[in-house]
Structure 1
Amino acid sequence: MSHQRTILIADFELPRGAVGIEQLMAMPRAGWEHLRAQINLRRRQDRTRSLAKCRLCEGGVFIRSQATRDSHVPLYAHFPEASKECPWYDGNNLRPDDARAAQYQGHQESALHRRLCAIIEEVTKADPRCSHSAIDTYLRPAIHQRGRWPDVYVEMGSLGRFALEIQLSKPFAPEIAARHLHYDREGVALVWIFNMLEHPMPQGFHDVVTMQRGNAFVFDEAAEAASLERGTLMLNCHLEDGKGGWLAPRLVTLHDLRTESGRCVFVEDRRSDLLEAWSRTERDRWWKALREARKQKPDWPFYHDAFANPWEALGHEVPGLAGWEAEFWAQRSDRARAHSAMLFAILCSVAHSADKGMPVLHITKFKGETAVLQMLNSKLMAADFRHCGRLIETFIDHSRLSPLLAVESLSKKIFEAVRSDEQIDEEHPLWRAMARLFPEALNGVVRAELSDLGRLPKWASAAE
């Protein structure tokens, strides 16, 4: 059946929620590749429970990578078993086994691949820590599941066990997920090894780099020469530079690899650090403005011009913010910028209190152990922030202060706020502005990715 149209909205399990095609295509490569990897990992774990579903037919969907002249564009596609009656049905997809057969044409190993396997095993065996090695030997799983035939399997004493997969042609996303899940269950560190980095790289190579958190390991002539000289396996490690390119490669050994992070093996985590930095960028601007304003106008800092530049910068990242500013002035006779600054201070008070484990307030002058609760009750009781009841509730729920929601006084104030005033939702410019300032709590996609990577900040983690 020919292609009809693309899937416009995919509904992910919470906390991600709905992700439209425009949002998907606007994501940085690292973001949509992480989603793609998580979808495929879930598919391998449980085919009956898709991580993402088509909004119309509720069939499982994955992220297909469409090659452009110098990059790739992410698009949604139904899994093969999806209903062909769906208005967004996008045609038959080539099954992984068929795609693999078409790629290899029955010849899955080349002479270069055989040579690389042999020499990698040879230099690894030369290391005195190596107690066992094998090429293309069946690895029987400890649990009752299908085994694997790693290209090179080595046991390196206290370093652990390694499956070294030499990849010359592009691997397929479902197979990448399957291998990572298998070796993770077996306690074996999986290292994907390239012979060279192509430009542009095939999407399969990008999928591997995503699993290895922005690291690409290459066994080229330089690495081979260094391995023979040192008597151990040396790999050229290429690290993403965060700008679409690579830092200068450096030679590493298996000893340099971090293997404690489950399915991921890497030298430096280039993805999580950049995501964390992006999450803090806008918030740091506003926090600096708040401190400056409080210093110059301690009694009422929120109308200070220190917020002018952060407000303008936020407007560039949040479409519709300028329009809402004019609308807010007409409806409430107040400045949207000052209102946003006060809401920022409320949320900062929650976040900093959750992080410190004690009340830290940046708005109101309540004291004592219940200061945060009193501050929230007073702000929700006032007319100014009733329309933010759902937003504040969601923020608290996604922080270490979530037990506060069970306190009767606060739950009652939230209920009354929701009942008495029309609530802003996730599509409202103010909610999206706060989601940009606090993505760890209010941006479902970013929150889930940080959680997947074990990098959610303390304040935004579950209550202990």
Structure 2
Amino acid sequence: MAGKQFKRTLKRAIDLETMLTISSDALMGMSKDEYQVVRRLATRARLDRRPRYVCGLCGHAVYAPREGRTGQPYWKHHPGAPEDCSWWTGMPSGVDAVSGRQFDGAQESPLHAKIKNIVGELLTADRRTKPESVVIDEYLITEGGRRRPDVRAVYDGVPVVVEVQLATTQIPIIIQREDFYDSEAYRLLWLTWNFEPPAANGRLLSSFEDIFYSHNKNLFSMDNQTVQLSRQRNEVILRAFWVRENLWQSKLVGLHELNWLSSGRAFAVAPKPHWHEDFLARWRAATGEHGTPRPERGTLLAELADKLSLIDVDDRTLEEADIDSLINCLLSLLDGHPVGSRQKNLVEVLNTFLNVERRYRFARLVRRFSELAERKEILETKSVQRKLEVALNEKQDDPESLTGRIALALFPEAFASRQKKSPSS
């Protein structure tokens, strides 16, 4: 490292005994007496072959030498820390390199090990946890394979796995674990420590972003306060993070209060739905077996015209174009039962819909949507085939038409693979 000066890129360290965070600025601001306490504790821990301070980002062991030129202390990684840690400070030299080799070859960071034991302790104390069901760092072996979760337990009568995520887990590992636990009917909670949201216009580390999306755009973290509250209340308390209006929000939440996705991952606060999802939810709520009545129908169609910036098109124009009937037909196919109709089944819905001549131009769209919604069996019924045969002889609306634009705007997921398929299909 000759000719180079160490930079204070390692911003925060965590004291594994107190779980308190000590920033680089706080370290440099310590009195000589305070610094000597840290220096001696770090040295004693190294001699005892156990870390005392760890990097607040990657969780690997650090110590606090002084910089030769200025005499100022700074946090520095021991050997074995991952070089892809964005706070990595390089390999120590001289005596430091020799004494630091005791940390080489570790399978997990000391912070990671500390956190999973804390989680196990808190789960054990929670009355919702099945007695003696908490298992820390042992293989779960099934017919589908094996994994070694950080912590697992039966919580509220359901098997739950907690995986501690610090900074370096890659997306293939994340997906493999999620798929395995999902296949074994285990709920999975990714948990980090002392999470700090990125600054405005900043982005998450990729590994955090991956689990953010796994948890329905939530992140879960623990810190000193959540641990203290958990111990006081004898229940697991987490800090949930989410984004609203481009700003990070957070709140304390009990493990028992979480919502669980069908994938087996949790969320505390549902993300704001996309416009089309919210629109269709309000359309469904306003629709009965006789269709979508006014004034709700007019209000929603006016919103649709405004959202799509349709020039010289208002709610009356869309009604005259039978767009409300088309929306109900497509929703019926998507939901698997009649929407806005007194018909008994989807075959009757399509037959009735295509019985009106002015709707013939929708036939190709309806047929395509039936396939995308996996309702092909309806298309195979003779009555529907006859209706389609007649309707398809007329000129059809295309994706660039008013009809096509509306269908694509309201049902983007259904048409996501449209470009990959033949335009004539």
Superposition TM-score, scaled by structure 1 size: 0.53
Looking at structure 2, the residues matched to 265 and 308 of structure 1 have their Cα atoms a distance apart, in angstroms, of 35
Deviation at 1:143, TM superposition (A): 1.2
- Tell me the equivalent position of 2:34: none
Deviation at 1:281, TM superposition (A): 6.9
Are the aligned partners of 2:168 and 2:207 in contact in 1 as well (CA < 8 Å)? yes
Looking at structure 1, the residues matched to 355 and 411 of structure 2 have their Cα atoms a distance apart, in angstroms, of 22
* 1:432 is aligned to 2:425: no
The number of equivalent residue pairs is 310
* 1:174 is aligned to 2:172: yes
- Tell me the equivalent position of 1:192: 190
Deviation at 1:390, TM superposition (A): 0.7
1:131–1:405 Cα change, 3 Å: same
Are the aligned partners of 1:127 and 1:231 in contact in 2 as well (CA < 8 Å)? yes
1:229 to 209, 229, 232: 232
Are the aligned partners of 1:130 and 1:155 in contact in 2 as well (CA < 8 Å)? no
Are the aligned partners of 2:227 and 2:237 in contact in 1 as well (CA < 8 Å)? yes
1:180–1:367 Cα change, 3 Å: closer
- Tell me the equivalent position of 2:84: 103
Looking at structure 1, the residues matched to 122 and 240 of structure 2 have their Cα atoms a distance apart, in angstroms, of 17
Are the aligned partners of 1:125 and 1:133 in contact in 2 as well (CA < 8 Å)? yes
Give the unaligned 5+ runs of structure 1: 1-99, 296-304, 327-334, 447-464
Secondary structure of 2:254's match?
strand
The higher relative CO (CA closer than 8 Å, separation ≥ 6) is in: 1
Deviation at 1:164, TM superposition (A): 1.8
1:338 to 313, 317, 320: 317
Looking at structure 1, the residues matched to 402 and 327 of structure 2 have their Cα atoms a distance apart, in angstroms, of 19
Q: What is the RMSD computed on CA atoms of the aligned residues?
A: 4.6
Looking at structure 1, the residues matched to 159 and 258 of structure 2 have their Cα atoms a distance apart, in angstroms, of 12
1:252–1:429 Cα change, 3 Å: same
1:141–1:245 Cα change, 3 Å: farther
Deviation at 1:313, TM superposition (A): 0.9
* 1:250 is aligned to 2:252: yes
Counterpart AA for 2:303 = P
1:314 to 307, 310, 314: 307
Cα deviation code 1:349-389 (max 9, x no counterpart)? 53576779669559xxx99999745543333xx3x444332
Deviation at 1:266, TM superposition (A): 3.1
- Tell me the equivalent position of 2:363: 389
Looking at structure 2, the residues matched to 391 and 117 of structure 1 have their Cα atoms a distance apart, in angstroms, of 53
Looking at structure 2, the residues matched to 113 and 247 of structure 1 have their Cα atoms a distance apart, in angstroms, of 25
1:356–1:192 Cα change, 3 Å: closer
Are the aligned partners of 1:279 and 1:439 in contact in 2 as well (CA < 8 Å)? no
Are the aligned partners of 1:359 and 1:368 in contact in 2 as well (CA < 8 Å)? no
Are the aligned partners of 1:162 and 1:188 in contact in 2 as well (CA < 8 Å)? yes
Higher helix content, 1 or 2: 1
Counterpart AA for 2:329 = V
- Tell me the equivalent position of 1:136: 137
Looking at structure 2, the residues matched to 311 and 258 of structure 1 have their Cα atoms a distance apart, in angstroms, of 31
Looking at structure 2, the residues matched to 101 and 215 of structure 1 have their Cα atoms a distance apart, in angstroms, of 26
Looking at structure 2, the residues matched to 435 and 445 of structure 1 have their Cα atoms a distance apart, in angstroms, of 12
Cα deviation code 1:229-275 (max 9, x no counterpart)? 2234321223x35433344412313x33445734323345x149667
Deviation at 1:220, TM superposition (A): 0.7
1:219–1:276 Cα change, 3 Å: farther
Looking at structure 2, the residues matched to 140 and 308 of structure 1 have their Cα atoms a distance apart, in angstroms, of 53
Secondary structure of 2:245's match?
coil
Aligned pairs (5 A) from 1:145-156? 145=145, 147-151=146-150, 153-156=151-154
- Which one has a bigger Cα radius of gyration? 2
Deviation at 1:413, TM superposition (A): 3.4
- Tell me the equivalent position of 1:300: none
Larger mean CA deviation between 391-400 and 210-219 belongs to 391-400
Counterpart AA for 1:190 = L
Percent of matched pairs sharing the same residue: 20
Counterpart AA for 1:378 = N
Are the aligned partners of 2:287 and 2:340 in contact in 1 as well (CA < 8 Å)? no
Looking at structure 1, the residues matched to 340 and 402 of structure 2 have their Cα atoms a distance apart, in angstroms, of 27
Looking at structure 2, the residues matched to 173 and 275 of structure 1 have their Cα atoms a distance apart, in angstroms, of 29
1:204–1:347 Cα change, 3 Å: same
Secondary structure of 2:247's match?
coil
Counterpart AA for 2:167 = S
Counterpart AA for 1:387 = R
Are the aligned partners of 1:436 and 1:443 in contact in 2 as well (CA < 8 Å)? no
1:165–1:389 Cα change, 3 Å: same
Looking at structure 2, the residues matched to 419 and 350 of structure 1 have their Cα atoms a distance apart, in angstroms, of 20
Larger mean CA deviation between 160-169 and 126-135 belongs to 126-135
- Tell me the equivalent position of 1:117: 116
Superposition TM-score, scaled by structure 2 size: 0.58
1:222–1:293 Cα change, 3 Å: closer
Counterpart AA for 2:354 = N
